[in-house]
């Protein structure tokens, strides 16, 4: 067991159930959608063909669900309230993306929409030399009642 992880654990655990805050709005553009389509080889017309997409129930192109999910890295940076106690990072070697417990694509993100993330600490688990922090994210769409997605994202904090 890492002493640094053991010392940081109660500091992370104190956040369980706390709303971490809401980030800034971020506009999703057609250029971003097109570039994501190129990288993933997913050129379905609902994403990349504005003329054809006009005839869908969405009335326009929509972002790939996985594009919205991948933007969590950027959106999560703003979803923190205050400055965490620096003691939780004493001895930290790195934080790694450990995965997701749940991901749901609730509502499509139409081109030109603005999204932002809200985070709540859901769970903290002490491992040998590490702490797994699960945060529940909701990606909101400006002006929409239903969110774009909800996801439980696990970050592994690895200590020396």
Side-chain half-sphere of 116: how many Cα atoms within 13 Å? 12
Tokens matching residue 25: 């709005």
Number of domains in the chain: 1
* CATH code, 143: 3.10.129.10
pLDDT in tens, the chain (160 residues): 689 999 999 999 999 999 988 999 999 999 999 999 999 999 999 999 999 999 999 999 999 999 999 999 999 987 766 677 889 999 999 999 999 999 999 999 999 999 999 999 999 999 999 999 999 999 999 999 999 999 999 999 999 9
Domain extent at residue 126: 3-159
Parallel, antiparallel, or unpaired: how do β-strands 130-141 and 26-27 relate?
A: unpaired
DSSP assignments along 33-91, one per residue: HHHHHHHHT---HHHH-HHHHTTSTTSS-B--HHHHHHTHHHHHHT---S---GGGGTT
pTM of the predicted model as reported, rounded to 2 decimal places: 0.91
Helix (H, G, I), strand (E, B) or coil at 151: strand
Distance CA 132, CA 154 (A): 6
């Amino acid at each position: 067991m890492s002493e640094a992880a053991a010392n940081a654990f109660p500091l992370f655990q104190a956040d369980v159930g706390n709303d971490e805050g809401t980030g800034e709005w971020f506009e999703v553009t057609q250029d971003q959608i097109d570039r994501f389509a190129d990288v993933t080889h997913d050129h379905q017309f609902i994403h990349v063909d504005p003329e054809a997409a006009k005839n869908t129930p969405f009335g326009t192109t929509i972002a790939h669900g996985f594009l919205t999910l991948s933007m969590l890295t950027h959106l999560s940076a703003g979803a923190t309230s205050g400055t965490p106690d620096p003691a939780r990072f004493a001895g930290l070697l790195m934080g790694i993306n450990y995965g997701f417990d749940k991901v749901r694509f609730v509502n499509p993100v139409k081109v030109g929409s603005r999204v932002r993330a809200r985070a709540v600490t859901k769970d903290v688990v002490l491992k040998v030399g590490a702490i797994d922090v699960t945060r529940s994210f909701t990606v909101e769409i400006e002006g929409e009642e239903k969110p774009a997605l909800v996801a439980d994202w696990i970050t592994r904090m690895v200590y020396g």
